[in-house]
Structure 1
Amino acid sequence: MTDEPGRLDRRKIKIAARGSQERRRHARVSLRLHGRFWSEEHGEHACRLVDISPGGARILSRLKPAQGDRIVLLVNGIGRLEGDVVRAGEDDFSMAFRATDRKRDKLADAITWRFNKERLGLDEDRHAPRKPGRGRARIRLSDGVVIAANVIDVSVTGAAFECLERPRVDEPVRVGEMSGRVARILDNGFAVVFDPPEAQTNDSEAA
């Protein structure tokens, strides 16, 4: 019995993306998003996210809950999160999320999508289900040709794209503000690993 092409593609994509999924489970990224939080003692208050990972977040707020307080956090573009305050500073506080592994996986996808969306110039696919990893990207190849591709998977360190074009492995590419290289060819596209942050800075200065 042979695999259906669609199933085979999804399986290979999942295997290719496994490393980036593990990295983003623990990655803390800077996201300046507005939101609100609620606690039983203080009620509801406006706040702003400073950074976040699937395990917790740092939040800026005029009102600071006490360490140990139970918090319900609602962040624009991320959703509803619950957890406990683990550190209370002068003008911010940190919380650890209470979440299942499934919830953390979904949160990791949402975080990396928000983190990469603007810097990679990604456009959401309005006709597809609203979930992380769906969108359109413009990719500039080394010869100056620009191609449009569907986003399959995106992480802090790389992304996978679906398209008819097949650039060569190790070819330099640009996706939005990010530079990188083609890491591998997939049945229905290719995967890119982004250059380290210092290389991104040098490329921007040289441009």
Structure 2
Amino acid sequence: MAETFTRLDRRKIRIAARGAEERRRHRRLPLHLHGRFLDSRHQEEKCRLIDISPGGAKVATRVPPMPGDFVVLLVDGLGRLDGRVLRKGDNWFSLQFAAHARKRDRLADAITWRFNMQRLGLEEDRAAPRKEGRGRAKIHFADGVVIDADVIDVSISGAAFACLERPRKGEEVRVGEMRGHVARIWDGGFAVAFMPPNAASASAA
């Protein structure tokens, strides 16, 4: 009997972990990109993202479509997104994307990249092929040193950079509007863990 309870407990833990991961993956982020959409009546309207996750988005527009309508959303920097309208207001609507897991993963990477570009002051590498997580950033250290580094990867909680300089682990840094500390170091690069916005503000004060 005890073994049965243990198996059930482990199963509940796995289910809860998967649910927590899914909630993290579908966290809505404010991302104000312009675009247009085509509704089921083949009418095209200009629009602007209010927020977005890999599972859906809230969109501002002059003439929102009706709940239940299937729309094709074209957003600068994110491409084509298909989905069905869930709710609408006077000048907005929300929709749920119709996408398979692989496309949602790619969309999650694109959303994260676009969300962090402005906050981190990233300069896109125009000479290189377009790839999520590619760009240049200026990294400011507490002693006044500023270095340029290539972005390897970026997420909501941190970023990895490639450069020749080797900072000290734990050293405080600022990248654009974000503050954090050096969390890991390896040959040719390092990773920064960002502080939560409220903690970063307190540290700056």
TM-score bin (small chain): 0.7 to 0.9
| CA deviation map 1:96-134 (0-9, x unaligned) | 111111111111111111111112111111221111100
What is the deviation of 1:148? 1.0
CA distance in 2, matches of 1:24, 1:168: 30
CA distance in 1, matches of 2:104, 2:186: 27
TM-score for both structures, normalised by structure 1: 0.83
Q: Which ranges in structure 1 are unaligned for 5 or more consecutive residues?
A: 1-20
Q: CA RMSD in A?
A: 1.8
1:94 is aligned with what amino acid? S
Identity %: 64
Q: Is the 8 A contact 1:56 1:94 kept in 2?
A: yes
Map 1:89-100 → 2, pairs under 5 A: 89-100=89-100
| CA deviation map 1:68-103 (0-9, x unaligned) | 110100111111100111112232111111111111
CA distance in 1, matches of 2:81, 2:30: 17
Q: Is the 8 A contact 1:24 1:155 kept in 2?
A: no
Greater RCO between the two (CA within 8 Å, min separation 6)? Answer: 1
Comparing 62-71 and 179-188, the one that deviates more: 179-188
- What SS does structure 1 have at the residue aligned with 2:119? coil
- Residue in 1 that maps onto 2:182: 182
What is the deviation of 1:42? 5.4
Structure 2 CA distance for partners of 1:37 and 1:22, relative to 1, 3 Å: same
Structure 2 CA distance for partners of 1:64 and 1:23, relative to 1, 3 Å: closer
CA distance in 2, matches of 1:55, 1:143: 42
Structure 2 CA distance for partners of 1:106 and 1:176, relative to 1, 3 Å: same
- Residue in 2 that maps onto 1:49: 49
1:63 is aligned with what amino acid? V
- Residue in 2 that maps onto 1:82: 82
- Residue in 1 that maps onto 2:64: 64
Map 1:166-177 → 2, pairs under 5 A: 166-177=166-177
- Residue in 2 that maps onto 1:127: 127
CA distance in 2, matches of 1:68, 1:164: 53
- Residue in 2 that maps onto 1:12: none
What is the deviation of 1:24? 6.4
CA distance in 1, matches of 2:23, 2:173: 22
- What SS does structure 2 have at the residue aligned with 1:105? helix
- Residue in 1 that maps onto 2:28: 28
What is the total number of aligned residue pairs between the two structures? Answer: 185
- Residue in 1 that maps onto 2:107: 107
- Residue in 1 that maps onto 2:118: 118
Q: Which ranges in structure 2 are unaligned for 5 or more consecutive residues?
A: 1-20
1:156 is aligned with what amino acid? I
TM-score for both structures, normalised by structure 2: 0.84
What is the deviation of 1:27? 2.7
- What SS does structure 2 have at the residue aligned with 1:106? helix
